[in-house]
């Protein structure tokens, strides 16, 4: 299994549509958009999966095919902080893809972008995401009550963070192909 991270491309439209069809639980993650067709997926990639000063996104690829996503958003240079997020297509879960991708992006954020603190949050009923955060070296910092609303339900969220000065986890990082990524 050859795992890499590289920027999303509109050529990933079929792969994104397939991942969404494969993973009903991604709907909330992707803003409840209907992305099951390549046309809709392409539009989503153009609108949301690019790069700018505040956001860097990567496809998690297995043998070149996009099967997941890891991103840094809300990149803030006053305090050198950012927010991390990730997902993996349902049929590809349980093989360490998210943990390794998150650890790789964290190393990139600290070593190349010069960020100091990365944060993320998961609903407290999402133990897999909690495992990913911990495996990638993000310590739990506390519960924010009813922070997120999906449909008519609100969810408590556990915040995790990793600092540049924290020890790196013992995880094998994956190659990160940086073309098109703005480096400070």
Q: Which residues bind ligand COA (CB under 6 A)?
A: 25-26, 29, 86-88, 93-99, 122, 126-129, 131-132, 135
| Rg of the chain over all Cα atoms, to the nearest angstrom | 16
1 versus 183: smaller Cβ distance to ligand COA = 1
At closest approach, how far in Å is the CB of 132 from ligand COA?
5
At closest approach, how far in Å is the CB of 2 from ligand COA?
16
29 versus 55: smaller Cβ distance to ligand COA = 29
List, in order, residues 6 or more apart from 154 with CB less than 8 Å away: 146, 147, 148
Name the packing angle between helices 38-48 and 13-22 (round to 10°).
110
95 versus 184: smaller Cβ distance to ligand COA = 95
CB 101 within 8 A of CB 71: no
125 versus 165: smaller Cβ distance to ligand COA = 125
Torsions phi, psi for 114 (to 5 deg) = 75, 20
């Amino acid at each position: 299994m050859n795992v890499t991270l590289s920027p999303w491309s509109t050529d990933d439209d079929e792969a994104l549509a397939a991942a969404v069809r494969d993973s009903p639980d991604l709907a909330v993650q992707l803003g409840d958009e209907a992305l099951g067709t390549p046309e809709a997926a392409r539009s989503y990639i153009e609108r949301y999966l690019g790069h700018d000063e505040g956001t860097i996104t990567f496809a998690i690829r297995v043998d070149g095919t996009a099967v997941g996503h890891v991103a840094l958003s809300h990149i803030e240079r006053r305090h050198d902080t950012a927010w991390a997020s990730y997902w993996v297509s349902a049929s590809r879960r349980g093989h360490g893809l998210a943990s390794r991708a998150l650890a790789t992006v964290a190393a990139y954020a600290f070593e190349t972008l010069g960020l100091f603190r990365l944060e993320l949050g998961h609903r407290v009923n999402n133990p897999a995401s909690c495992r990913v955060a911990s495996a990638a070296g993000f310590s739990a910092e506390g519960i924010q009550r009813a922070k997120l609303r999906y449909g008519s339900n609100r969810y408590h969220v556990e915040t995790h963070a990793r600092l540049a000065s924290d020890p790196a986890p013992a995880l094998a990082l994956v190659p990160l192909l940086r073309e098109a990524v703005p480096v400070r």
